Amino acid sequence: MNGEARLLAPLVPTRGYFPDFLTPAEGLLGMTDALAALRETPAGRLHEELTRLAAASRPFPSWMREMAEGDTRVLGRLAGILQRYYEAAVAPYWARVQGRIEADRAARGRALLDGGADRLLASLPPMMRWRSPVLECDYPVDRDLHLNGRGLLLLPSYFCRRTPVTFHNPELTPVLVYPVEHPAPRLTPQVAPERSLGRLVGQTRSAILQRIGVGCTTSELARRADVSLASASQHATVLRDAGLLLTLRQGNAVLHTLTPLGAALLRGARSVEEAAYERLT
């Protein structure tokens, strides 16, 4: 790691507690929203969580003490470091990471459709065991999390390993982050499938096809493809008319999913690009 990346190490120890403010709920909307939420972390929460971290690990470096004391400039610097780390260490692999996450979401969604919540919870990885009404998890510490009617948000993660994790603060929205299956021992940089597919359907429509995953609304699609809502709607209409998308109305929103033809087109693009990458390496 370079000097900047090493600054992150004291915040995220390999074991034990790490601050909840590093994983804001806005992260579900993307990196930009997550960093914006991080920059707005209240000073009181920073002080509380960093003080807890200090008690559980080695002494703080000076910049973390300043952040714990409410220095917003340091918090802004941290957000910048996280952005650059993401661009260097995560973004080059994101297509494959997202593909693995979407595959897990598809499996959980199918379990939910086939057998309801019981089937969904029973389908989770082996380190989680559904014994109604309790979901037992292998966890680094002995802990009970009571939902009290709040529900539980399940988040598959490529980078979570061995055991699931949740927020330390029980007052936050209950979230359980769990590891996805890892069939390959390591990642290799993936050549973007958009390059060949983009020549066929256009770069924006290629990006939209790539980012639909197991289904999303028009607004989610616009955010994922980084286009306007009107543009996302227009391109989705063209792709639907071509038989590549299926659109279903859900209340006030519409849900776009790939048709078998659209999925086959994506699989073909990925096969071509990965074969080209193998020849280069």
Looking at the fold, whether 34 and 58 belong to one and the same domain comes out as yes
Which of 179, 210, 226 terminates a domain? The answer is 179
Which pLDDT band holds residue 279 (cuts at 50, 70, 90)? very low
Which of 47, 66, 92 terminates a domain? The answer is 92
Q: Average of pLDDT values for 184-195?
A: 49
The residue with greater pLDDT, 181 or 3, is: 181
Does a structural domain hold residue 76? Answer: yes
Residue 245 has a pLDDT of 85
Does a structural domain hold residue 187? Answer: no
Looking at the fold, whether 229 and 256 belong to one and the same domain comes out as yes
Q: Token pair for residue 34? A: 């997550």
Q: Average of pLDDT values for 83-91?
A: 90
> What is the extent of the structural domain holding 71?
3-92
Does a structural domain hold residue 111? Answer: yes
Looking at the fold, whether 208 and 175 belong to one and the same domain comes out as no
pLDDT at 229 over 70: yes
Q: Average of pLDDT values for 193-211?
A: 71
Which of 92, 109, 128 terminates a domain? The answer is 92
Amino acid letter, residue 224 = R
Residue 105 has a pLDDT of 85
Does a structural domain hold residue 69? Answer: yes
CA distance 100 to 106: 10
Evaluate whether 256 touches 200 at the Cβ level (below 8 Å). Answer: no
Does a structural domain hold residue 123? Answer: yes
Query: Which tens digits make up the pLDDT trace of 119-136?
Result: 999 999 999 999 999 999
Looking at the fold, whether 18 and 77 belong to one and the same domain comes out as yes
Does a structural domain hold residue 234? Answer: yes
Beta bridge partners of 249: 254
Does a structural domain hold residue 188? Answer: no
Q: Average of pLDDT values for 52-72?
A: 83
Looking at the fold, whether 99 and 88 belong to one and the same domain comes out as no
Looking at the fold, whether 201 and 218 belong to one and the same domain comes out as yes
Helices (H), the chain: 3-6, 31-39, 43-56, 62-68, 72-85, 94-122, 194-201, 203-211, 218-225, 229-241, 260-280
- Across the chain, mean pLDDT equals 82
- Tell me how many domains the chain contains: 3
Q: Average of pLDDT values for 205-213?
A: 81
- Closest Cα to residue 218, out of 258, 247, 194, 238? 247
Does a structural domain hold residue 220? Answer: yes
If you count them, how many residues does the chain have?
281
CA distance 126 to 59: 36
